[in-house]
Amino acid sequence: MSLTVLMNAGPWLSVPPPGYGGIENIIATLVPELRRLGVRVVLASVDSSTLPVDEKISVFPDGQFDALQRPYNQVCGIAQAHLGGVVRALHTRDDIDLVHDHVEAVGLATLAAMGPDAPPVLHTLHWDLAKHPALYGNLEGGDRVRVNGVSASQLARAPRALRDHSVGHVHLSTPLAIDADRRPRPDKSDYLIILGRINPGKGQDVGARLAQRVGVPLVLAGPVGPYHRPEDLAAAGDEARQNPDVRFFYDEVAPHVDGDLVRWVGTVAGQERDDLLAGARASLFPLRWEEPGGTAVVESLALGTPVVATARGCLPELIEHGRTGLLTTDEEELADLVLAANALDADECRREAATRFTPAVMARRYVGLYEQVRRGATAR
């Protein structure tokens, strides 16, 4: 197949990301599989990205993630500067067949406004969109722009203007799902884990209270705002509290972090992350938001760790209650489910990941969508 895709990863983190980075992880998972299927990939990211691709476009030397804490106009300035590089490339070359865009709002509006000479765009929605309808404005003039969700529930909640441009959803994947069903059985210890950004939506406060109540150790892994290690947060002092996730951590989570039963270990990466996830009795998602795609959910399955969660967002699509995890709509019931999770079979979880969530499954689905979007753009 001869298809050249400009993959717009944005300027925030390198690809693959150094630790935390849901969108960049997905791009790093998708691109090698696309290239295996014969797709040429031009990556628009930052210079420090190390993902092997056919060509790179970048405006910034390295990830601008920390700048996301700055005032909104400065954040937009960075996004616009990055996008300037993408738009210049699209104006000056004619070998790009399709843009696969992962950058929120600003990027989509600009690409939508580029007119019929620009290649068609497939934009992957990564967030809970019901909360941010204004971000997308309208897509008028965006006939060549199509969107896909990362779950059916995310699309169902999306504003009408986006749903009207939708070509369906593609579940997230993880390289861990390759051969997941053939990996040796993990040695489990008696602890729970919540892997994710410390944020009210992810519900670490609920998890911490629950762990104290049932007396099961809980590991909280993930960044608090821009702080990846407990010592960095401690050193930042009071100024750090300007960040809402830092305030949430200090006010709602930290009172339950005793360093013994409940621990915050900061961001974990690589083998350490995988070992921590594989060793847990259950992976806990006491969600307060409609989880759009749930990479960490899929990673848990791939590593043989059943999921105990509130049945929000994409969770019911990813988890089969009673087989790969336990779901409830009642936060109070989570404690009972945690205790019942021991009865679930790690092999069932891994088999599910190896069947439904491999990078190859995700890439084949995207190639299908690329073809659909290109056919639609030609027909219009």
By beta-carbon proximity to ligand UDP, the closer residue of 274 and 336 is 274
By beta-carbon proximity to ligand UDP, the closer residue of 79 and 277 is 277
- For ligand UDP, which stretch binds (CB under 6 A), given 43-51, 140-148, 245-253, 268-276? 268-276
Q: From CA 154, how far away is CA 194, in angstroms rounded? A: 22
When asked if residue 296 is in the footprint of ligand UDP (CB under 6 A), the reply is yes
Q: From CA 282, how far away is CA 175, in angstroms rounded? A: 20
Going 126 to 127 to 129 to 135, the CA torsion angle's sign is negative
Contacts of 52 (CB under 8 A, 6+ apart): 32, 35
Task: Answer for the pair 139, 116: CB distance below 8 angstroms, yes or no.
Answer: no
Quick one: tokens of 2?
Answer: 């001869």
Pick the binder of ligand UDP from 108, 180, 221, 253 (CB under 6 A): 221
DSSP H helix total and E strand total for the chain: 15, 13
For ligand UDP (CB under 6 A), the number of binding residues is 18
The helix/strand/coil state of 351 is helix
The mark string for 127-156 relative to ligand UDP (x by CB under 6 A, - otherwise) is ------------------------------
- For ligand UDP, which stretch binds (CB under 6 A), given 74-82, 193-201, 301-309, 361-369? 193-201
The mark string for 3-32 relative to ligand UDP (x by CB under 6 A, - otherwise) is ----------------xx-x--x-------
When asked if residue 268 is in the footprint of ligand UDP (CB under 6 A), the reply is yes
By beta-carbon proximity to ligand UDP, the closer residue of 142 and 222 is 222
By beta-carbon proximity to ligand UDP, the closer residue of 194 and 240 is 194
Q: Locate tokens 């104006």: which residue?
A: 91
Looking at residues 31 to 60 of the shown chain, list those that interact with ligand UDP (rule: CB under 6 A): none
| Per-residue 3-state assignment (H helix, E strand, C coil) for 83-117 | HHHHHHHHHHCCCCCEEEECCCCHHHHHHHCCCCC
Residue type, 268: V
By beta-carbon proximity to ligand UDP, the closer residue of 10 and 222 is 222
CB of 261 to ligand UDP, least distance (A): 20
Looking at residues 57 to 86 of the shown chain, list those that interact with ligand UDP (rule: CB under 6 A): none
Task: Answer for the pair 344, 281: CB distance below 8 angstroms, yes or no.
Answer: no
The residues that touch ligand UDP, with contacts defined as CB under 6 A, are 19-20, 22, 25, 195-197, 221-222, 267-269, 273, 293-296, 299
